[in-house]
Amino acid sequence: MQKQSNHAKKGLLASGASMVGNNKRYIFWFFILNLTLGSFATAAFRNQAHSILDNSLYSGRLVHGFDMAAFVELMMRPEFGPTKAATMSAFYFIFLFFVGTALFLPGVFQGFAATYRLQREEFFRACGRNLWRFVRLLIVSGIVLGIAAGILFGAQGALVKKAGESTNELLPFEINLLMLTIIFLIMSTVRIWFDLAEADVVLSDQNAVRKSLGKGWRSMLRGWGSLLGSYVLTTIIAGAILYIGLWVWIKLVAPESILGAFFVSQVTLLLLLIPRFWQRGIAVTYWQQRMAEPILVVEPAAVIAAPAPGTSEPVVAPVIPTGATETPTA
């Protein structure tokens, strides 16, 4: 069996960051996947917009800044064509991105947990073996997240409406802010649960998804404070990256600089992948520390050999300890 990584001896945040640093190629390939599917998703809209903007003064109002009125008028023009053609194309490629995520994430989990650089064959073997398991996990997570979001946002709307009947003018705002915080914490908790279940499915080679869901839930409750704190911190870092990226785009990139806007936006999207993979590393670390089954090493009994010629004492053969053989570093 594969020897546990030294990452398990570190804290959640430090170990997760170390896993991301040792496997930066996964971030790069997911970025390429996102960029490729995004370019195909926007192709229909680009073609429809080009047919009008290439021969119209509207392009100036959209290139030198963003004029919302001009954009809405562009969308309403008959020659633009049906908006459904562009939106449905984007929807299909968004769906493909989720399929790609379900396909390649098992290999990422396996690579994070490995004590050596995972080879290409092992990566794709883990992806193929766990594809149907991850599809089932995504279906269950979509149902659970949808129900939870519906209940929480419904409760938020009812409480804010009730608070609006109060004479305290700040009460609706305070209730709204409090409910958004509660919703964020609860939805983060659900995400932690499913991240741990995904890690257990891959690293335990568990075919019964329901068992990984139960194990992930129980383990998440035992370490809820440290897990939630780590996820909240990485989410705050993601928010800071997004804010800085938007600030640079608005303040430092000229409105007519298409290349500059493209570069800043793509660098921001690339950096936003780091906190998400960091969270996956945290889940793998927690699995190694709290969820992995211990490996029992049984020492063989001493072998008593026949007495050597000319002696009366038996010769006791030395005991050679056996244990998990360390996987060679690739």
Rounded to whole angstroms, how far apart are CA atoms 208 and 214? 10
> Is residue 305 scored above 90 in pLDDT?
no
Grouping H, G, I as helix, E, B as strand and the rest as coil, residue 321 is coil
167's tokens: 């004479």
Residue 165 amino acid letter: E
What's the pLDDT tens digit per position in 165-215? 888 888 888 999 999 999 999 999 999 999 999 999 999 998 999 999 999
Rounded to whole angstroms, how far apart are CA atoms 298 and 178? 55
Region 137-161 average pLDDT: 93
Average pLDDT of the chain, as a whole number: 82
> Is residue 140 scored above 90 in pLDDT?
yes
Tell me what pLDDT residue 43 has: 79
Tell me what pLDDT residue 39 has: 85
Residues contacting residue 78 through CB under 8 Å, at least 6 positions apart: none
Rounded to whole angstroms, how far apart are CA atoms 330 and 328? 6
First to last CA, the chain: 16
Please state, as a whole number, how many other Cβ atoms lie within 10 Å of the Cβ of residue 206.
Answer: 17
What's the pLDDT tens digit per position in 20-60? 999 999 999 999 998 998 888 887 777 777 766 666 666 66
Give 313's pLDDT tier (boundaries 50, 70, 90).
Answer: low
> Is residue 76 scored above 90 in pLDDT?
no
Comparing C-alpha atoms, which of 193, 194, 215 is closest to residue 204? 215
**Residues 6, 234, 187, 269: what is their CA dihedral angle, to the nearest 10 degrees?**
-110
179's tokens: 């409910």
Please state, as a whole number, how many other Cβ atoms lie within 10 Å of the Cβ of residue 12.
Answer: 24
What's the pLDDT tens digit per position in 214-273? 999 999 999 999 999 999 999 999 999 999 999 998 889 887 787 888 899 999 999 999
What's the pLDDT tens digit per position in 89-138? 778 888 888 888 889 999 999 999 998 888 999 999 999 999 999 999 98
Tell me what pLDDT residue 23 has: 93
